[in-house]
Amino acid sequence: MITKELWGKGPAGEEIFLYTLENASGAKVMLSSVGAGIVEIDVPDRDGKLSNVVLGYKRAEDYFSDGPCAGKIPGRYANRIAKGKFTLDGKEYTLEINNGPNHLHGGPRGFQNRVWDSRIEGEAVEFQYFSEDGEGGYPGNLKVVAHYEWSDENELSLTLTAETDAPTVVNLTNHVYFNLRGNGSVLDHILRLNASEYLPTDETLIPTGEVAPVAGTPMDFVVPKELGEDIKADFPALNYGKGYDNCYLIDGATPGQLSEAAELFEDESGRRLTVYTTQPAVQIYTGNWLSGCPEGRGGQVYADYDAVAIECQHCPDSPNRPLFPTTVLRPGEVFEEAIIWAFDCN
């Protein structure tokens, strides 16, 4: 069952809609037309009690220009582009700088801060955004569609598609944050990654171009461990970001094919999240700077490390790194990637 309600107004008076997708067991997902975002996911614990397991805000208006980019789809390029510059087909493009010396998540007016067109499409909710040529500094008119479905098996699927009328670069994900207990720190959550390599970065979190093995470092989640086990280790990646904010390459990732990226488990509730994607990489961000963000859905005040983002995507700074999987999209091509968040209990 899907319901739609008016939730608020955007800066220019745009109507913001809130969609609720409820399955046969009563578990539900709430989606907003601000950034085509995930606002709430209510799933059962091992005793059958439903709780919201994602970071979300009480008011629609709080989703504009929030630091965490909570639950939304950033773009046109999720993650960072060094110095806000890239060259495509011999022409240099200059983007807005909004993260130290770099461009992050499409800039301050990225897709996450826009009100998307939306509709109920059968058993799904679809959001659409049209990004004009030159928006944020990017070339080409780009049409983006986000298609969400919620199953009776408590699986939320997101398919992202995009088409352009001129060569451009695209990297799309959903920046949802999880806390499987529903509140408090996530540093006791247990994470396993299907990733034996990660991308080292400089101090501004731009990849150096090196691909490094996680074995023997605090970056290793091949064998499950608590998020907090090594988070205070004296290691460059952890020092730069005040915790994990790093891109991992998914082992065996094949374009167009779903692969398991991650598994997150919380022992008190018994909830487990398994993440599948067609994307080649996953960014793990342990909510290192959540303090000061807007009031939560239940009135809670969020602190650093109260949620973890598992962002399936292409690699940061790929437009400047020809050895990384390409993020170039040309006319006649279709960008199409999928993410599935599957919830159960253990």
At residue 253's C-alpha, the angle toward residues 247 and 254, to 5°, is 135
Residue 33 makes CB contacts below 8 A (sequence gap 6+) with: 15, 16, 17, 18, 115, 116, 117, 118, 127
CA dihedral 74, 303, 205, 88 (to 10 degrees): 10
Is 103 a known active-site residue? no
Q: What is the C-alpha separation between 96 and 174, in angstroms, rounded?
A: 21
**Site of tokens 């046969």:** 24
DSSP string, 235-256: -HHHHHHTS-EEEEEPTT--TT
Per DSSP, the three-state class of 265 is strand
**Site of tokens 């006319």:** 331
**Site of tokens 């060569």:** 167
- C-beta neighbour count of 119 within 10 angstroms: 13
Q: Given 135, 163, 263, 311, which residue is catalytic?
A: 311
Q: Given 103, 135, 149, 175, which residue is catalytic?
A: 175
CA distances from 234 to 63, 166, 305 (A): 34, 45, 18
Catalytic residue IDs: 175, 311
